Structure 1
């Protein structure tokens, strides 16, 4: 496999993020964007890795009854078809990288800004569910998710926190479900028009790296500083986004 060091990067990212309950999807996308890989391969790899890293978390959230399906369903029902549409939309490689660059820069800002809401016991003013707003929010982020190859949680989570949508725990659970269903929808969209240039062995190797790192990290109770991890990721994502914009603008 060419660029074997990507395997190590993915292993480390999955290990660190899974140890604090996150997936690190934006970091995978940022790393892939730094290499001259076919853009369809970048999108497909990022989406598959998203599924691998969040499926375990979704299971735990469901098991612990931390998912409010009445509030999640309007977001996911709108996002799933839009993610598919974004994935099948025909765009040039230059257009893809321009959108990706802008997306990563915005994501870096959202990662850097601390958007934590009040603690669960003090969240009496959590916003009332709005089907129209939730559907519009989910559909928009879902389309971008399929188009670029992200799960969408990096946008959904801080926006829901700013809206005081629910408790931090419920928002984290919602974001995990959102990432999972959008990534699966995006994968189906990508599978409908795969390129012959895709290196399937590299994709499989990176998936194994993410799985291994995630399994190790999730079984270790390491006390990472979550804010530091988020801001380190913000720097990585910002550098990748600016580098892409300079190259393709």
Structure 2
């Protein structure tokens, strides 16, 4: 086997993204936090290749995972639908507001929130009984939470899944249901921006795009089925806590490392 061929970006990227999709689909996220920087580090143009392809892969993972979770009846529709709709509406507003705020400050705040969410989830605390949210109240919280997180997701150019799961868990949603519902939310939110970004990439590198799309589709199916049928909620919480800490570090690096 020619190791030089394996090192080619059009071959290496799909292999890496299969495992990224496998992991992040188990957590109700699409993996966009990694696709874009990895593609950029491999030398692909940020605007016309890395960002649009990263967003497309994020939607593929979310949609593929959602199909599995719907079959397993893990999605909380009452909070997921209003959450997703609110994110679709408010994400463009956040993107428009990028010139109003110091980017470094916003990213630093979100990084601290991410790290705090990791500690919260790892602690095992789940405040449903204390907060006493009714199903109707959860719908309202979905609209409110989706509006806020959608705005901030648009502000920093992220899909939002990293923030959706902690909030759902804080509302008392069981870990597996929170991850499954987040997959639905990020799919809807991603669809609102994927078309415009694809229009920017007028000349995709088709072997890269097709290879990565197939890889994340396969990875998301493996990961979502593992989560739905094999993993316990406690295991998911531990994995998610570690991933959140890693993402918090990446966010801080993006804000202050360059």
Q: Please report the TM-score for the alignment, with normalisation by the length of structure 1.
A: 0.71
- Cα distance in 1 for partners of 2:60, 2:113 equals 21
Pairing of 1:3-42 with structure 2 (within 5 A): 5-18=12-25, 20=26, 22-23=28-29, 25=31, 27-29=33-35, 31-32=37-38, 35=41, 37-40=44-47, 41-42=49-50
Pair 1:68–1:60, CA change in 2 (3 A): same
- 2:128 aligned with 1:82, yes or no? no
Pair 1:203–1:145, CA change in 2 (3 A): farther
- 2:249 aligned with 1:243, yes or no? no
Q: Secondary structure at the match of 1:154?
A: helix
Aligned residues: 239
Pair 1:223–1:63, CA change in 2 (3 A): closer
Shift of 1:136: 2.8
The CA deviation string for residues 138-167 of structure 1, in whole angstroms up to 9 with x for no partner, is 122123334444331211221222233x44
- 2:123 aligned with 1:113, yes or no? no
Q: Please report the TM-score for the alignment, with normalisation by the length of structure 2.
A: 0.69
Higher-helix-fraction structure: 2
Pair 1:131–1:23, CA change in 2 (3 A): closer
- 2:145 aligned with 1:137, yes or no? yes
Structure 1 match to 2:187:
180
- 2:233 aligned with 1:226, yes or no? no
* Equivalent pair of 2:63/2:187 in contact (CA under 8 Å): yes
- 2:159 aligned with 1:151, yes or no? yes
Shift of 1:21: 5.8
- Cα distance in 2 for partners of 1:155, 1:189 equals 23
* Equivalent pair of 1:54/1:179 in contact (CA under 8 Å): yes
Unaligned 5+ segments in structure 2 are 1-7
